[in-house]
Amino acid sequence: MADPREVRLEDLPGPKSREELEDMKAPYEEYCRKIFDVGNEFIKPGALEGIRWLSCTMYIFTPHAVANLGELGAEIIKIEFPRVADPMRHTSPFNECYYYPLHDTRPKSGTGIGVLNANVNEYYISLDYHRKEAQEVLHKLVKMSDGLTECYRPGTFDRWKQSYRYLQEINPRFIYVWGGGFGYGPKAFGGSYDILGQSHAGLASITGFHEDFGGHPTKHSNWCIDWYSGTQITVAILAALYWRRKTGLGTMIEFSQVQAATRCIGYGVPLYGRFGVVRQRWGNWDTQLCVHGIIICGKSDYPDEKNPQLRNEARYVMVSAFNDPDFKELCTVIKRMDLYEKYKTHKERVRAEAQVEIYQEIEKWAADKSRSEVARILTEAGVLAMPVKNDKEVYESEHFRQRGTVRWMDDPMLGDVVVQSTYSAGLLSETPRRKFWDFRPVGADNVKIYHELLGYPVSTVQEWYDKGII
Amino acid sequence: MPREPQEIEIKSRADTLKQRPWPATPPPSREEVAKVYAKRKAEDFGAWCEENLWFQKAFEKPEALQGVRVLEVGLWRLGHKFCTSLLAELGAEVIKVEPPEGDPMRKLTPFGREEYMLKDKKTGEPCGLEFIHEMRNKYSITLNLDTPEGQKLYKGLANRADIIVEEYPPGYMDERGIGYRQLSKINPRLIYCWIGELGQWGPEKDRLSKHGQWMLDPFGQVACSFVHNTGYPDDFLPRGSGGDTTRSGVWLADYVAGEQAAVNILAALYYREEKSRRGQFIEVTAAEALMDILDFDIAWYGFNESIKARTGSWDPNLNQYAWNPCKDGYMMIGGQTDRLWYRIGMCIERDLPQFGRLIHEDPFLKEVAARNALQALTKTYTLTAMWLRDINRVEAEEKLLQYEIAAGPLLYIDEVCEFPHFKYRPWVYTIEDEHYGLLLYSAPPQAFQMRTPARVKWLGRPLGHDNGEIYQKYLGVGQRMQEVLKEKGVL
């Protein structure tokens, strides 16, 4: 114990060194840049180093739950069926975009871009659970791992005697995750995808334009609900790891992706429960705020481009002025003070009929302008506005480049690829996320895992490969 | 049990705003569901799952994050609220610090309708549903961070906290001497997470308007190309009538940022406990967190300068994988691998024989990846919609599930709440709240766990409800002092 009469530098308030003093005095933005130190992630440790996780997953939802761990430093072993592999490897928009190299599972076309970002930083092995040799191998892996995530239909792993019922006997610390559509209950065996989550859980019914405006329920582009639900599994896994530190016991987590979509429909559920009111779609406007919506402008930002996504679509802009002084400013800019006089309070503005009128008037004003003009005029007037960005503009954005969230990397398998994920899931000052490779071929790490980790002779590994076990 | 039809007289809007009984019809019994398991020879496994994961047993089990203390300071947005909801559902003690006038989100209500707000039983103070729904398991205290006394009290709380989740404009807390840079000096174990729309640094960081208005979602959705890529194309529906770029109906980017913040925080917590004994600074933004999950879109631009276009409710990467109109709404059907692809056809063929001939026997459609070409999508969905137009959702679902296909109707929220599977587990559930009465809410998806399930202990909290307890317990500031501080505008 320290002598209480002794005055130690570290006990005194204030900075302890010149460097720290400079840190304290630096402008805030500079301080943030320095502490996150984007681009130098690899000199810092990963938060979850030492955790080993098995990923018996396919598609996006459950793989993403594990990839989050991998980005944070855990060692991941992804197990695929030999030759069949993760079906996501076939997936590519309009069958157009494939990554090489060629491999015996995809000899003609390479791997579809659809699999990108879902299984980063993992070791890839193959294993056919149907074969009797497989069980011993899997049990050995379970004994030396912290957990497993799987996405097969309920009862499948149980039939193969590798569900949590069995695995907890051989490793009580094991954390077992099943992720799928439904979980126990009458529709337990129903399969699920992202789009089923969107449609089945009510999210689609409130996204898009109302049928009175000619719209249909609209799919969130991308497999948003897959990714979003996967991240929520990671939350549950990390909490279970935290709890395991105290008790030494693992757990089983059953996670329904469709339910995760219901979780994010906000006031929809309590509104129905209390008042019997069913929330409907409200297009590009906001049900709770006005003005806070996306409008269309008359002119394109790229009238001469060949690509219709630039020529025709670069016309939308987000405008937000819901507080009274902001709305007044907006009305001044569009020279419609009568609107301000009519809808002075937010309560009046946000009514449905008022919203229809107000947005129409703003669009009339924007009819002879391009979206960047609109954004510039409004921003100069001190009102919040931003063009709706497309992939090209996001790629070229100086903001994301400086923050390191869009960057090129030299992938060992794929060469130069643009990275839009991992780093964008959050900046951490001490244990930043990082990506060292994206996907690898099926069974690329069979020797590393079966021979080096589990101690099987290389000849046995070769024999298994020839027999189609791996 | 069929319900008796009731005569309902509607004379005014007030007559329609009635609490609905939930569930309107009882969920399937456990015996009926046991038969479902038996059909797939999984009786034992089904029984084991229900025994060990049963939702209603949550309160018999411990909480994973017991003993973790979290301060939530933020206004307007959902990111910080969802993040701390996730932590609070798993057992963390979350204290929401609000300015004396409260989080403005308390006043938000759809279309400004006050009749949709809930009144506190004791004070009559109204509060919006969105706020109440995300205020689960959290304490509410008031504190004016613009006053020196308020800042001092806040430092005291920060000293006792494991985690702070902050969502104020960039540098707001730092200017007041209560940002990460200052607090980490007095509490090195502190894990501090800032959440925002675009960032607290960088050329396009979060801005305020001239009059101080915040940037809220969907700015995050707009900034990452999500909105540009979502919606029906204009050659499918006319522009201005559904054929436009479309935002998510909810503040999706905020939700995604919130959950990634929770992941980063828990990883940092694990690292602190296992290794470093020190906290760290985390920053998550809505725009980037959503960009993280935009599949491969930006990478695709890097690959060959493709700019993703809108494809409505179809997916350019998978076939079949879409919802299409049917007799009474929309029906989602999915199945890409050969096994599922041919099963969908076998099901549809029973009613529409030409489906097999035109789809299954088309040589072009035999290879799994080739089915994603645009003309293949058009052909498949045209024929599928031909089948769907004569049947309703329930019939279609029943037929497709016989073939074990991932299929389901597009449901509206009332239908979601009454869907048999959803109310069996249940995914929406009721709670009798101390202040706001009987509420229906979305249950946490992390609630189905063997040892430490997530749970909702209460919903909503009137402004400053927990001042008395929290200030007494953590700072020793008693009743009398609290009154003085309240008078001075500090609490």
Convert the pLDDT of each residue in B219-253 to its tens digit: 999 999 999 999 999 988 999 888 999 999 999 99
Q: Do A29 and B224 touch (CB under 8 A)?
A: no
Determine the pLDDT at residue B92.
96
CATH number at residue B163: 3.40.50.10540
Shared domain for B268 and B375, answered yes or no, is no
**Residue among A426, A41, A49, A46 at smallest CA distance from B194:** A426
Shared domain for B175 and B229, answered yes or no, is yes
Shared domain for B442 and B388, answered yes or no, is no
Please report whether residue A281 resides in a domain: no
Q: Do A242 and B269 touch (CB under 8 A)?
A: yes
Q: Do B249 and A201 touch (CB under 8 A)?
A: no
Shared domain for A182 and A307, answered yes or no, is no
Each residue's pLDDT tens digit, A443-468: 999 999 999 999 999 999 999 999 99
| Residue B126 scores a pLDDT above 60 | yes
What are the backbone dihedrals phi and psi of residue A295, each rounded to the nearest 5 degrees, phi first? -120, 165
In angstroms, the CA A196 to CA A291 distance is 32
Shared domain for B272 and B354, answered yes or no, is no
Segments of chain A scoring below 70 in pLDDT: 1-2, 4, 7-14, 101-108
Which domain covers residue B333, as residue numbers?
321-411
CATH number at residue B374: 3.30.1540.10
Which domain covers residue A215, as residue numbers?
52-263+440-467
| Residue B3 scores a pLDDT above 70 | no
Q: A117: buried, middle or exposed (CB in 10 Å: 19+, 13-18, 0-12)?
A: buried
**Distance set, CA A148 to CA A64, A113, A228, A413, B110 (Å):** 13, 26, 19, 26, 42
Q: What 3-state DSSP class applies to A324?
A: helix
Residue range B124-150: average pLDDT?
A: 95
| Residue B334 scores a pLDDT above 80 | yes
Q: A208: buried, middle or exposed (CB in 10 Å: 19+, 13-18, 0-12)?
A: buried
**Distance set, CA B200 to CA A404, B166, B244 (Å):** 14, 12, 31
* Residue B147 CA neighbour count, 13 Å, CB half: 15
Min distance A395 CA to chain B CA atoms (Å): 6
Residue range B83-105: average pLDDT?
A: 96
Please report whether residue A184 resides in a domain: yes
In angstroms, the CA B211 to CA A339 distance is 19
**Residue among A270, A335, A329, A327 at smallest CA distance from A293:** A327
Please report whether residue B309 resides in a domain: no
Determine the pLDDT at residue B411.
93
Determine the pLDDT at residue A5.
72
Q: Is B34 on the interface with A (CB under 8 A)?
A: no
Shared domain for A193 and A258, answered yes or no, is yes
Shared domain for A231 and A330, answered yes or no, is no
Per DSSP, helices labelled H in B305-373 are 338-351, 354-355
Please report whether residue B254 resides in a domain: yes
Residue range B106-120: average pLDDT?
A: 94
Average pLDDT over chain B reads 92
**Residue among B281, B74, B75, B285 at smallest CA distance from B200:** B285
Q: Do A420 and B297 touch (CB under 8 A)?
A: yes
Residue range B442-464: average pLDDT?
A: 94
Each residue's pLDDT tens digit, B55-84: 999 999 999 999 999 999 999 999 999 999
In angstroms, the CA A317 to CA A314 distance is 9
Shared domain for A92 and A207, answered yes or no, is yes
Min distance A180 CA to chain B CA atoms (Å): 11
Per DSSP, helices labelled H in B90-146 are 129-134
Shared domain for B104 and B223, answered yes or no, is yes
Residue range B381-403: average pLDDT?
A: 92
Shared domain for A173 and A93, answered yes or no, is yes
Q: Do A272 and B322 touch (CB under 8 A)?
A: no
Each residue's pLDDT tens digit, B473-485: 999 999 999 999 9
Beta bridge partners of B70: B94, B163
In angstroms, the CA B268 to CA B250 distance is 29
Please report whether residue A391 resides in a domain: yes
Q: Is B85 on the interface with A (CB under 8 A)?
A: no
Nearest by CB to A47, from B224, B268, B401: name it: B268
Interface test with A, best of B198, B450, B455, B456 (most A CBs within 10 A): B450
Q: Is A29 on the interface with B (CB under 8 A)?
A: yes
Shared domain for A446 and A382, answered yes or no, is no
In angstroms, the CA B268 to CA B262 distance is 10
* Residue B464 CA neighbour count, 13 Å, CB half: 15
Q: Could you tell me the strand order of the sheet in which B329-334 lies?
A: B321-326, B329-334, B406-409
Q: Is A337 on the interface with B (CB under 8 A)?
A: no
Shared domain for B90 and B194, answered yes or no, is yes
Q: Which residue would you say has higher pLDDT here, A332 or B14?
A: A332
What are the backbone dihedrals phi and psi of residue B163, each rounded to the nearest 5 degrees, phi first? -140, 140
Shared domain for A199 and A99, answered yes or no, is yes
Shared domain for B189 and B278, answered yes or no, is yes
Provide the domain count of chain B.
2
CB B329 within 8 A of CB A72: no
| A 269-328 residues inside an 8 A Cβ radius of B | 269-279, 281-284, 286-289, 292, 294, 296, 307-310, 312-313, 316, 318, 320-323, 325-326
* Residues in B touching A209 (Cβ below 8 Å): 241-242, 244, 246
Min distance A458 CA to chain B CA atoms (Å): 33
pTM: 0.95
Q: Is B231 left (phi over 0), alpha (psi -120 to 50) or beta?
A: left
Q: Is A107 on the interface with B (CB under 8 A)?
A: no
What are the backbone dihedrals phi and psi of residue A380, each rounded to the nearest 5 degrees, phi first? -65, -35
**Residue among A293, A200, A422, A169 at smallest CA distance from B298:** A422
In angstroms, the CA A329 to CA B62 distance is 53
Q: Do A429 and B369 touch (CB under 8 A)?
A: no
Per-residue pLDDT band for B7 (boundaries 50, 70, 90) equals low
Please report whether residue B14 resides in a domain: no
| A 213-252 residues inside an 8 A Cβ radius of B | 213-224, 227-229, 231-232, 234-236, 238-243, 245, 247, 249-252
* Residues in A touching B212 (Cβ below 8 Å): 323
Shared domain for A332 and A211, answered yes or no, is no
In angstroms, the CA A256 to CA A260 distance is 7
| Residue B444 scores a pLDDT above 90 | yes
What are the backbone dihedrals phi and psi of residue A123, each rounded to the nearest 5 degrees, phi first? -90, 140
| Residue B344 scores a pLDDT above 80 | yes
Shared domain for B85 and B152, answered yes or no, is yes
What are the backbone dihedrals phi and psi of residue B119, each rounded to the nearest 5 degrees, phi first? -100, 135
* Residues in A touching B430 (Cβ below 8 Å): 273
Name the residue of chain B whose CA is nearest to A381's CA: B210
Q: Which helix H or strand E contains B330, and what residues bound it?
A: strand B329-334
State whether the Cα torsion A410-A414-A415-A421 is positive or negative: negative
Provide the domain count of chain A.
2
Determine the pLDDT at residue B78.
95
Interface test with A, best of B82, B217, B259 (most A CBs within 10 A): B259
Shared domain for A125 and A254, answered yes or no, is yes
Please report whether residue A27 resides in a domain: no
Interface test with A, best of B165, B442, B458, B459 (most A CBs within 10 A): B442
In angstroms, the CA B3 to CA B26 distance is 10
Please report whether residue B190 resides in a domain: yes
In angstroms, the CA A155 to CA A137 distance is 20
CB B295 within 8 A of CB A117: yes
Extract the tokens encoding A234: 């990671």
Residue range B114-119: average pLDDT?
A: 93
Residue range B131-154: average pLDDT?
A: 95
Shared domain for A185 and A256, answered yes or no, is yes
Residue B53: alpha-carbon gap to chain centroid = 22
Please report whether residue B286 resides in a domain: yes
Please report whether residue A317 resides in a domain: yes
Shared domain for B334 and B482, answered yes or no, is no
Extract the tokens encoding A93: 């928009």
**Residue among A82, A201, A96 at smallest CA distance from A131:** A82
- Which residue shows structure tokens 């990671």? A234
Shared domain for B244 and B139, answered yes or no, is yes
Q: Do B427 and A95 touch (CB under 8 A)?
A: no
Shared domain for B73 and B208, answered yes or no, is yes
Please report whether residue B365 resides in a domain: yes
- Last residue within a domain, chosen from A396, A430, A455: A396
Determine the pLDDT at residue B21.
83
Q: Which helix H or strand E contains A418, and what residues bound it?
A: strand A415-419
Please report whether residue B363 resides in a domain: yes
Please report whether residue B239 resides in a domain: yes
In angstroms, the CA B432 to CA A273 distance is 12
Min distance A234 CA to chain B CA atoms (Å): 7
Extract the tokens encoding A99: 């990554």
Residue range B433-446: average pLDDT?
A: 93
* Residues in A touching B281 (Cβ below 8 Å): 35-36, 428-430
Q: Do B248 and A321 touch (CB under 8 A)?
A: no
CATH number at residue A462: 3.40.50.10540
Q: Is B383 on the interface with A (CB under 8 A)?
A: no
Please report whether residue A401 resides in a domain: no
* Residues in A touching B289 (Cβ below 8 Å): 424-426
- Last residue within a domain, chosen from A337, A367, A396: A396
Name the residue of chain A whose CA is nearest to B128's CA: A267
| B 127-146 residues inside an 8 A Cβ radius of A | 128-130, 132-134
CB A218 within 8 A of CB A204: yes
Shared domain for B251 and B386, answered yes or no, is no
In angstroms, the CA B317 to CA B298 distance is 16
Q: Which residues contact A363 (CB under 8 A, 6 or more apart)?
A: A295, A296, A297
DSSP B168: S
Interface test with B, best of A92, A95, A192, A376 (most B CBs within 10 A): A95
CB A280 within 8 A of CB A208: no
Shared domain for A222 and A350, answered yes or no, is no
Q: Do A274 and B280 touch (CB under 8 A)?
A: no
Determine the pLDDT at residue B1.
43
Shared domain for A256 and A334, answered yes or no, is no
